[in-house]
Structures are given as structure tokens and as C-alpha cells.
Amino acid sequence: MSQVLDPPPPTRASTQAATATAPPSGPGHDLAALAARHGLSVSGARPSLPQYVRQLWARRHFIGAFSTAKLTAQYSQAKLGQLWQVMTPLLNAAVYYFIFGLLLDTRRDVADFVPFLVTGVFVWTFTQSSIMAGTRAISGNLGLVRALHFPRAALPVSFCLQQLQQLLFSMCALVVILLAFGVPPGPSWLLAVPALVLQFVFNAGLAMIMARVGSKIPDMAQLMPFLLRTWMYASGVMFSIEHMTGPDSGLPSWVGTALQLNPAVVYIDLMRFALIDSFGGSQLPPHVWALAVGWALVAGIGGFIYFWKAEETYGRG
């Protein structure tokens, strides 16, 4: 753009022809007053929080359609097509089984190691990919943000919904694995539903926080994989935290307590508790449901408000 040169002299002689009946169009209070008199609203202003919630709700069909569309578009070029929805998580689990189960032999300490591992990997992947997608939700969709008007929170929420749908595919594979390894189905399987709902709220909250951060600092997208991997190893995805931090591990006891407060551990263990028979209540962190609800509310509400606070600035830069 060529703004550096001297601007040409304004020739506004004929200006008033078209705006004859209007008050003189000089900048200043006249225009603001004119706008106020006709009840015009400031363009691009941030809506109030309740308004914002209503707007978001009004766009729920868009959120749903967008996430499904993303999911379908993802593998539409692959020869195996939607089969990859199930293959990707399974291959992931296979890699972890090879390294942690066979090479490092963590399976000795854990009953039903394969169901234990696969559940952990799937549930963790849900949180991980929600956060990664959230980080790019605004910065990777600037075209959309700059072209259309909708509450921006629709984007991170929609990406989390896409991951949830992905997880549901994985869960189907998981059921097959569980049955194959002789885990009996039981009424406790139903607990998976509230656990997933809480985890979804938690993920959506984190995704919204990261969406705002990522929209201001695009470099976050490079940094996040490392943070997430660190978090994963601290979350007992492929080993039992209890065994790692137990009395004979030599670690101070607060490490164990801290790890058990970790929301990823909470959601993973809840899912294991729901699905795997041999994973009893004694292995759960204390007050696990309270923790799960607490984390979901803190992240969900906090993330939503944090995201909304910058609503009018998304799209710049």
C-alpha cells in the first residue's frame, strides 16, 4: 500500500450535493448525535455476555455443521476414507503398546494393560487435539473471521466438537478392544457419558483460552506440542501413576497428590473406572467427581469469559 506519499488535496466541493438534507458532515459530535438519534449501534462492538451467549446459541447449527464438515473433509482424499477415523487412534495405541508395554514393560504392574493403555490414549488424545485445534482456531481461520459475522467462540467450540465426534469413533473401536480382552460390559459403562460431557466442557474452555492466546501470539502453535507432551507424561496415560509415585518410589508424597489433581488424570481415570472392571474405585483420586465437575466449570466458564473479553479484536493482525 502506498500511504507514504503526500495525500492529494481533498476536493470536497461537491460533497454536500448528496448529503444535502443531512447535518454538515464534519467529523465530531454531530455525527455521533445523528447516529444516537436514529438508534444506530457501534459497528464491531463487543456484545454483553448474556447477548453473546444468546448469539452463540443461535449459531448452534452452524457449529454442528462446521465440525461435521471438517471431520468429513479430513479424510475425504484418502483411499481408505473414513476408516482412518478409527485407524488413527488404534495405530497410536499400538505404538504406545510397543514402547511402553513391550520395551519398557510397564504392563507388569497393571491389570488389563491393553484396555488401560488404549483408554488412556484415546481420552488423552481428545484433550490434546482439542487444545491444539483451539490454538489455531482463530489464527488458522482468519479468512472466515474477516469475512463473516458470527460469535467467534463458535470456532473453538466447533473444533472441540469435531474432536468429540472423532473420539466417539475411537470409543467404538475401544468397545471392541475391551470385549476382545475379556472386559465384561456392565452398567458402570454408562458413567462414561457424564465423564465425557465434563471433559468436553473442560476441553472447550481450554480451547477458548488457547484460541485467544494463539490469535495474539501465533508462535504458540509451535510451542504447544512440547507443553502438551510434557503434560501427557505427567498424566499417567501409559503407566499407572499410583505405582510411579507410591511409597516405594522415593518421590515426596506431594508429587503424587499434585499429579492426582491434574485434570487429565481425573478424566482419564474416570473413564478407566467406568469401563474397566479391574480398575476399582480405590485407584481413583479422592473426590474424583467433584474434581471433574470443578475443573470443567473453572475451565469452561473461565475460558468462555476470557475469550469473550477480546471478541472485538479477533481478525486483526
Partner 1 sequence: MADTPADNTPAERVPTVVADGVDIVYRVNGTGAGRGSATAALHRILRRSKTEQAAGVRRVHAVKNVSFVAYRGEAIGLIGTNGSGKSTLLKAVAGLLPVESGRIYTDGQPSLLGVNAALMNDLTGERNVYLGGLAMGMSRAQIKERYQEIVDFSGINEKGDFITLPMRTYSSGMAARLRFSIAAAKDHDVLLVDEALATGDRSFQKRSEQRIRELRRHAGTVFLVSHSNKSIRDTCDRVLWLERGELRMDGPTEEVLKEYEKFTGGPDRAAKPKAAPKAAPKTAPEPAPGAKAVV
Which residues, numbered 64-93, are part of the site for partner 1 (CB under 8 A)?
65-66, 69-70, 72-73, 76-77
How far, CA to CA in Å, does 71 sit from each of 154, 161, 165, 194, 266? Answer: 16, 10, 8, 23, 27
Pick the binder of partner 1 from 94, 165, 243, 312 (CB under 8 A). Answer: 312
Q: Which residues contact 276 (CB under 8 A, 6 or more apart)?
A: 112, 115, 116, 119, 178, 183
Among candidates 170, 1, 158, 150, which has minimal Cα distance to 82?
170
- How many residues of this chain bind partner 1 (CB under 8 A)? 59
C-alpha cell at 159: 473444533
Pick the binder of partner 1 from 84, 150, 231, 306 (CB under 8 A). Answer: 150
28 binds partner 1 (CB under 8 A): yes
DSSP per position, 214-245: HHH-TTHHHHHHHHHHHHHHTTTSSS-HHHHH
Q: CB-wise, 55 or 188, nearer to partner 1?
A: 55
Which residues, numbered 40-59, are part of the site for partner 1 (CB under 8 A)?
40-45, 58-59
In the complex, minimum distance from the CB of residue 207 to partner 1, in angstroms, rounded to a whole number: 19
Which residues, numbered 257-296, are part of the site for partner 1 (CB under 8 A)?
none
7 binds partner 1 (CB under 8 A): yes
Burial bucket for residue 277 (CB in 10 Å: 0-12, 13-18, 19+): middle
Give the whole-angstrom CA distance, residue 299 versus residue 208.
9
Pick the binder of partner 1 from 51, 54, 146, 249 (CB under 8 A). Answer: 146
Q: CB-wise, 72 or 283, nearer to partner 1?
A: 72
Question: Which residues contribute to the site for partner 1 (CB under 8 A)?
Answer: 1-3, 5, 7-8, 10-12, 14-15, 17-22, 25-28, 31-32, 34-35, 38-45, 58-59, 61-62, 65-66, 69-70, 72-73, 76-77, 141, 143-150, 312-313, 315-317
